[in-house]
Each structure stands twice: as C-alpha cells, then as structure tokens.
Amino acid sequence: MAEALLSLAGVHTHIGRYHILQGVDMAVPEGRLTMLLGRNGAGKTTTLKTIIGLCKASQGTLRFAGEEIQARATPEISRLGIAYVPEDMGIFAGLTVKENMSLAARDGEIDDARLRWVFKLFPPMEKFWSLRAGFLSGGQKQMLAISRAVIEKRRLILIDEPTKGLAPAIIGALIEAFLELKRSGATILLVEQNFHMARSVGDGVFVMDDGRVVHAGAMAELAADEALQKRLLGLSLGAHQ
Amino acid sequence: MSIADPTVAPSPKRPFWGDDPWPFVVLAAVALLPLVAIKPTTWLVLTVAGLAMGMMIFIMASGLTLVFGLMGVINFGHGAFISLGAFLGATVLLRMGAWTGVDSIAMNLLAVVPAMVFAVAVTGALGWAFERAIIRPVYDNHLKQILVTIGGIIVAEQMIHVVWGPDQIALPRPTAFKGALGYGEIVFEKYRLLACVLGLAVFVGLHYMLNRTKLGLLIRAGVENGPMVEALGYRIRLLFVLVFVAGSALAGLGGVMWGLYQELITAGMGMEVMVLVFIVIIVGGLGSVGGCFMGAILVGLVANYTGYLAPKIALASNIGLMVAILMWRPQGLFPVIRQ
C-alpha cells in the first residue's frame, strides 16, 4: 500500500448557508491515479476546491505531504506542488497557448524537455502554440488545461471532470494521456462521471454521496462488481462501455 | 524547440486591429463623418483637440478600468485622486513660478516634470492606504463599495478644503505651453500637443507592460479569471494592490494634466470629470486598456465635434455615444473574455 500524499479527515465545507461536505475522509496514495466518483451534487467538485483552498473547510483536517493546509491560502497551497484543473478548465481565453503555459511555469522558463514531453502527450498544443486559447475547440482547451497542470512537475494533480462534453475520440486521447502521466509517476486525484474513463485509468476509487465518502477501494473491484456500481452510482458498467 | 523560440509553430501576422475590426470602423466613421459639415482645416484642429482631451481622460481612466477588471471593484473614489493630483501638482508648480514664467521649454519641463512626479508619488501612496483602509474590507460587496468609495471622495474633497482652502486655484500653464503652433488656418494649441504625446506615451507604456512582461501577463489573466491565477500559485490580492496603486498614480498624473488644461482647479474637479471617465471605461469594455484608449478617443472627438457643430447638445453627446455603443455592444467595444 503506497503512503498517503494527501489526507482529509472529517472535512466539512459550507458554501453560503449550504452544508456541502459533511465529514469527508480520504487518503490519496502517492504515485497512483485515484478516482473520485459520485452522482451530481455529491460534493466531488467542492472536495477538489477545498483541497486547493478555493473553498474553505469549516471543520476537519487536510494534510498534504505531512503539512496541514486547511488554513492556508490558495496560492500557498498551489506552491506546495498541487496543480488544479477545474471543471470549466480555467483557460485564459484571451491569452495564447504559450502564455497560458508560461503562467504555470512560475520562474517564467519552461523546461525544454518537459515541453517536448507535453507536445508528445498533446500534439495540438504544439500546432496551436501561438493561437489565442479562446479559438481552441473544447477538447483542445481541455488538453491545454491539463498541459498547463503538468508543464512543471507537480506532486499532486487535481482534475475535475475532464471528459465533460467531449467527443469519444478526444476522450480516447485523454485516456492515453492519463496512462502516460501514470507511467511518469504522477499522483492524480481525478473527478469523473465517465465510468469507462474511470475504469481505464483508475488505480483506487472513492465514491461520494451527500457530501461524504461512501465507498473506498480498488478501481478494479468496483469495475468488476455491477451490483455495487448500481448501488453506489446508479449505473451499470455495460451501459457505459 | 523552446518556449523562447517562436518557430515552434508558425505565428500568423495579425493585423493591428486584431480579431475584431468593427470598433476601428466606428472610430473612423466618427472621425470622418464630420468632414461633411466642417471645413478640413477646422476639422483637423478639432480632431487634435479631441485627441488631446481623449488622451487626458485615458490617463485618468486606465487605472480604474484595470481595478474593475481585476477585482470587480467599483471605485467612485477614483475622482479624489484626480483632484488630489491636481492640487499636489499645483503646489509644486506655483512654487516654481520663476521656472514656469520663462519662455523656455526646458525650464518649463524642469518645473512640470517634478510636479507630475510629486503628484504621482503621493497619489500612489494614498492609493495604497485607500485600498487597505477603504476597499479591502468591502471586497465582493458592490453596494458597500459604492457607498464607501463615494464617502471616500467626499472626505477627500473636504480634506482638500482643509489643506488648500475652500477657493478654486488658478493654475496657469507654463509660458512655453501657452499659445499655439499654426500654419494658416490650421492652429494647434501647444498644450494639447503635449497632452497627445504624454497620453500616447502612457498608452504605449501600459501596452508594453501588459503584453510583454510577466506582470502584464498576470494582470491580463487576473482580469479574465482571478481564482485560476491564484490556483496557479500567484497572489492576486498583491497584484490588485499594485494595480490599484498604479491606477491612483495615473489618476494623479491625469489630474495635473487636466488642471493645466482647465487652468483652474477645484476640489470637485475629480468628481466632475468622473462622468467622462465612467463613460470611457463603459464604452471601451470594463477591464480593457485597449478599449479604454479607444473609448477615450471617441469621447474626446465626439465632445469636440458636437461642441463646434451643435453646442447645445454637446453636453449630452457623450451620453448619446455611450447609449449607441451599448445598444450595439452591451459589454463595450472590447469586452474582456471571462469564464
């Protein structure tokens, strides 16, 4: 069992008067791709936002690489080595692909070898290097969002529903990219609704419902147990293949 | 293959109007249509006067549009920095009468430049204090922002009365900038030419900073999506303070320019010119420096053309311009793309 890089213990988060996270417990192991699944409104996006500090935990402990982070500001958490790809991708549409990527390189210089690796992962980024990001297609924007997250080596990458609204061919390309990221040893916490994607890339899985983690285990076990899928997610794997 | 190497992908040569030529078509139409009713020589004089007015409004408005774009802060107190800048500049200029009274551009500039530097430095520092004391407690609450910043400008006006007295102060232009240069019927006021040069220099400087530096990249990104800039590890609040200080300093510089333009300064001059400033940033698109520049030129030109052709509607002409542009483009000429 790999050691937990990130752990959440009894985390509660309120957004306005709404109590969204109601005691989330979770341990994300280092060097693995962990899936975070659940129905709409289960609290997956809020969990990622709470980890990166965009939503503040009202109770509980978040620990990253041994350090408590729940009281820290978002830039400080990010600088510990956490990258975040939000559900809306967070692309700066008025900036070029190059400028979007430059922002993620905090010392202003992108490592050449790393850039070549990213171009190999997502070839459209090389092709559209000087194009304003607002002109990219939905799939290309998602590629840019993920490229930006990995252009410098990060200890943990949080990704929120990368396949939302994308064509199957693009989803296939993203799956290949995630498998390559896994091979590079990256630690990823990936929120996803697409079970085919989850089954293809996930090592471990947490399933959330009503602001809590209701299942934790190996992705392969969940993928093999259709009754469990139906109970936890209200779906059958067959319908999503 | 390197990030510094633009040959990674071919970079198509973009025209100067970028992806959207229509605002430039409107500008050309506004500038050229009056030629139907005005003699070309008069039109040229009015156009330079309009550009000069636009440049001064741009200097005052550019900081405000970035402050709004970056943090969504509506700062009605911006006018206080314009008034303060004018009074601070006047304090220096009126003490250097021996330098401003001689007909020498060099001697006059030796008085005007320190006056501007003094006004910029003090209004910048006051901007920092204003952001900490007045703006910071009301982030994310537009109603409170409006109330406290209007309160701020009222307090600032009264403070000006306390320090400089309740009367308006005459601020004559330095001798070398009085009068006009001309050939036949074409006559350009010297001071207006100076205003054009200075406004253009501020625009070029801002444009360079926004498009060629990491700080500018962060500001442009922050205007689009502040939380994402934070998630990338940058402190957007610090960035905002820098922009607020720069915006206040530019307002101070604009105040000196406007004061010398009017040759008379009052504590309420900032509040009066804020109407034009708001029209400019709304017409240009909130948060867009390029839009602010074009909006300022449009406002300056329209004010001068209508002032000549139909003086009775001159006061309402810029409101009409704003209404027309907002009916065409509700988010202004160059809307900032936000997620």
Model pLDDT for residues B25-78, shown as the tens digit of each residue: 999 999 999 999 999 999 999 999 999 999 999 999 998 998 888 778 889 999
The CA dihedral of B130, A78, A219, A209, to the nearest 10 degrees, is: -20
**CA–CA separation, B39 and B209 (whole Å):** 40
Q: Does B123 fall in a domain? A: yes
Q: Domain ranges for chain A, please list them.
A: 93-153
Question: Is the ipTM of this structure higher than 0.85?
Answer: yes
Q: Of B97, B88, B163, nearest to B120 (Cα)?
A: B88
Number of domains in chain B: 1
Q: A80 at the B interface (CB within 8 A)?
A: no
Domain of B133 in residue numbering reads as 58-204+213-270
A140-182: pLDDT as tens digits: 999 999 999 999 999 999 999 999 888 888 899 899 999 999 9
- DSSP 8-state symbol, B132: I
For chain A, give the number of residues: 241
Q: Of B327, B303, B328, B326, nearest to B316 (Cα)?
A: B303
Q: Of B34, B38, B58, nearest to B300 (Cα)?
A: B58
Question: Are B1 and A52 a contacting pair at CB < 8 A?
Answer: no
Q: Does B235 fall in a domain? A: yes
Position B16 scores a pLDDT of 63
Question: Are A129 and B8 a contacting pair at CB < 8 A?
Answer: yes
Question: Are A52 and B12 a contacting pair at CB < 8 A?
Answer: no
B266-282: pLDDT as tens digits: 999 999 999 999 999 99
- DSSP 8-state symbol, A145: H
Q: Does B142 fall in a domain? A: yes
Q: Does B184 fall in a domain? A: yes
**Backbone angles phi and psi of A237, in degrees to 5:** -60, -35
Question: Are A93 and B217 a contacting pair at CB < 8 A?
Answer: no
Q: Which two structure tokens, joined as six digits, stand for A182?
A: 């896994």
**Contact yes or no for A66/A143 (Cβ under 8 A):** no
Indicate the helix (H) or strand (E) that contains A82.
strand A82-85
Chain centre to alpha carbon of residue B339: 27
Question: How many beta-carbon contacts under 8 Å exist across A and B?
Answer: 93
**Contact yes or no for A207/A39 (Cβ under 8 A):** no
Question: B21 CB contacts (<8 Å, ≥6 apart)?
Answer: B15
Q: Does B141 fall in a domain? A: yes
Q: Which amino acid is at B15?
A: P
A64-106: pLDDT as tens digits: 999 999 999 999 999 999 999 999 999 999 999 999 999 998 7
Give the residue ranges of DSSP H helices in A13-137: 44-52, 74-79, 97-104, 112-121, 123-127
